[in-house]
Amino acid sequence: MNPPYYEQLAEWTEFVPESEIRRLLLTNVKYYFGGGKPGSLPIETFKKILYQIADELDIDGIDTLNYGPTSGLASLKETLGKRIREKDGVNLPKGSDDILISTGSQQMLYGILDVLLRPKDVIIMARPSYLGFVVPVTKLGGDVLTVPTDIDGLIPEHVEKAIEISQRELNRTPKAIYVVSDSDNPKGTTLPEKRRKKLFELITQHEILLIEDSAYREIQFTEIPPPIKKYDLENKWVAYLRTSSKEAAVLRLGYSVLPEEIMVPMIKDKGYLDLCTSSLNQKILEIYYSKYIDQVLGDNLKIYEERRDMMQKTIDEHFPSNGQRTQPTGGFFFWFQMENEGFDSSKFLQDVAIPNDVCYVPGQAFYPIKGHSISKDDSELHGNRIKTNGMRLSFSFTTPQIIEDGMERLGKLLQDEA
Ligand SMILES: Cc1ncc(COP(=O)(O)O)c(C=O)c1O
């Protein structure tokens, strides 16, 4: 007989699915375009940093190996604050006190929802959106409201309509809008400057928080517009989330600029979530950001750009010509959508792609499990609608040769479904 607690776990354990990406990480295939892992890391640089840290342990080991402040090490926040100010033009009215260090930006995405949400609060986001944000909204009792996207990402006119429809039909002004403005996950799109300005206008006009997740800000092959956060001079309307995972190493460290009203309860929350982010990892990254990032990031970008170019070329050569791909100028992903709306990319993955040694992430993973959506013509509120004909293809982790061979193989298989 099972003990009673087996049957009485928290309710969310019954309706929240396992992350599709975590599940697919276990897939062992030759042509792996699944997870968004960095595939080029400055290993020699980190070796140098680790030797330096080891040498210094005699002097400051008691701090380096200890608990630190919940909001993060002051010296790291200074270093990151300077970079965000100088490179991205973001104003920090309170200096580095406006920055919070988290254990990955994933912790911040979850934490910000933990701080914000009351039952049925509406959060607007793109359709599709990063599943690491979509799923926690539902888990924590919020109501996801998705809007259609195009080749440039989130469309402010749809967002405006969604705000109106939410007020009229759900009796709520949305609490927040979520956007990955630079090289989106999953679509790889980058918001043009005009859309960024319009979104900022909308949030100030309707008094809604914008959660700008800029995970791929430093992984760019061309110049892109400044973050929306730049317009938020008073640090009042935009929570700006960054991470070291893509631009440094996956040491589980995120850094965010948060409005004070969010910062204070977020630090309280983090005090219960993990007490603090690893002090050792913060020290390592402080050295990386203050001494090395500009020297080594360029080499990594060249590698990613070459992979992006190869994926673009081979999709165009081999994939069904009536399908549509996005045009990433940075980040880790392409999105490909089959014209045939009946195509089920999840079933195709299991039945055809994996048996042929190819893996990608089916588009379904980036749609909410519950919630609402606005129709394409903006006229109606629907229940949540999932499109099955898209797929996310990651170019970050595989060599150009694997991309060339894998895309040819996948393209041929997809031709039969076009
Ligand atoms: C858009 C986006 N936000 C946040 C994250 C989480 O990153 P981390 O927790 O490693 O900082 C990811 C990771 O893939 C991502 O793609």
pLDDT (tens digit per residue) in 96-125: 999 999 999 999 999 999 999 999 999 999
Secondary structure (DSSP) of 230-250: GG-TTS-SEEEEEESTTTT--
Residues 376 and 230 in one domain: no
pLDDT tier at 221, thresholds 50, 70, 90: very high
Distance between CA 240 and CA 256 in Å, rounded? 5
Judge if the beta carbon of residue 244 lies within 6 A of ligand 1.
no
165 is a domain residue: yes
Burial class of residue 225 (count of CB atoms within 10 Å of its CB; 0-12, 13-18, 19+):
middle
Residues 233 and 374 in one domain: no
54 is a domain residue: no
93 is a domain residue: yes
Judge if the beta carbon of residue 106 lies within 6 A of ligand 1.
yes
Mean pLDDT, the chain, whole residue set: 95
Residues 328 and 257 in one domain: no
Place of tokens 């895309």: 407
59 is a domain residue: no
Handedness of CA 17, 21, 24, 25 (dihedral sign): negative
pLDDT mean over 382-398: 93
Which of 20, 189, 243, 256, when mutated, tests ligand 1's pocket best, judged by the most ligand atoms within 8 Å of its CB?
A: 243
Predicted confidence at residue 223, as pLDDT, reads: 97
Distance 177 CA to ligand 1 centre (A): 17
Residues 253 and 277 in one domain: yes
| Nearby residues of 289 by Cβ (< 8 Å), 6 or more positions away | 76, 79, 80, 83, 244, 248
Secondary structure (DSSP) of 142-166: -EEEEEEEETTEE-HHHHHHHHHHH
Reduce the DSSP state of residue 213 to 3 states and report it: strand
- Answer for the pair 248, 222: CB distance below 8 angstroms, yes or no: no
- What separation in angstroms does the CA of 21 have from each of 32, 360, 368? 12, 9, 15
What single letter denotes the amino acid at residue 308?
Answer: R
Residues 83 and 195 in one domain: yes
Judge if the beta carbon of residue 364 lies within 6 A of ligand 1.
no
pLDDT at 395 over 80: yes
- Which residue's CA is minimally distant from atom 3 of ligand 1? 215
CA-closest candidate to residue 52, choices 40, 38, 64, 67: 64
DSSP H helix total and E strand total for the chain:
13, 16
Residues 9 and 146 in one domain: no
pLDDT at 376 over 80: no
Distance 214 CA to ligand 1 centre (A): 9
Residues 33 and 103 in one domain: no
Reduce the DSSP state of residue 224 to 3 states and report it: coil
49 is a domain residue: no
61 is a domain residue: no
Peptide bond into 128 cis (omega under 30): yes
Ligand 1 atom nearest residue 254's Cα:
11
Domain containing 340 equals 4-43+296-415
Q: Which CATH number is 363's domain given?
A: 3.90.1150.10
pLDDT mean over 286-309: 97
Residues 233 and 335 in one domain: no
pTM: 0.97
Judge if the beta carbon of residue 256 lies within 6 A of ligand 1.
no
- Answer for the pair 252, 244: CB distance below 8 angstroms, yes or no: no
- Answer for the pair 76, 285: CB distance below 8 angstroms, yes or no: yes
CA-closest candidate to residue 278, choices 113, 105, 75, 63: 63
Judge if the beta carbon of residue 185 lies within 6 A of ligand 1.
yes
Predicted confidence at residue 25, as pLDDT, reads: 76
Residues 322 and 359 in one domain: yes
pLDDT tier at 251, thresholds 50, 70, 90: very high
Domain C-terminal end among 235, 258, 293 = 293
Residues 220 and 320 in one domain: no
Q: Which residue has the higher pLDDT, 213 or 376?
A: 213
Residues 123 and 267 in one domain: yes
Distance between CA 371 and CA 170 in Å, rounded? 11
Structure tokens at 184: 């989106």
Distance 9 CA to ligand 1 centre (A): 28
Distance 298 CA to ligand 1 centre (A): 21
- Which residue's CA is minimally distant from atom 15 of ligand 1? 215
Domain C-terminal end among 270, 293, 316 = 293
pLDDT tier at 334, thresholds 50, 70, 90: very high
Distance between CA 166 and CA 172 in Å, rounded? 6
Predicted confidence at residue 7, as pLDDT, reads: 79
Judge if the beta carbon of residue 132 lies within 6 A of ligand 1.
yes
Distance 253 CA to ligand 1 centre (A): 10
52 is a domain residue: no
Predicted confidence at residue 249, as pLDDT, reads: 96
Count the domains in the chain: 2
Predicted confidence at residue 252, as pLDDT, reads: 98
pLDDT tier at 304, thresholds 50, 70, 90: very high
Secondary structure (DSSP) of 316-367: HHHS-TTSEE---SBSSEEEEE-S-TT--HHHHIIIIIGGGTEE-EEGGGGS
Distance between CA 246 and CA 403 in Å, rounded? 20
Distance 4 CA to ligand 1 centre (A): 36
Domain C-terminal end among 265, 293, 321 = 293
34 is a domain residue: yes
Query: H-helix or E-strand containing 294?
Result: helix 293-318
Predicted confidence at residue 24, as pLDDT, reads: 79
Residues 332 and 402 in one domain: yes
Place of tokens 């006229």: 379
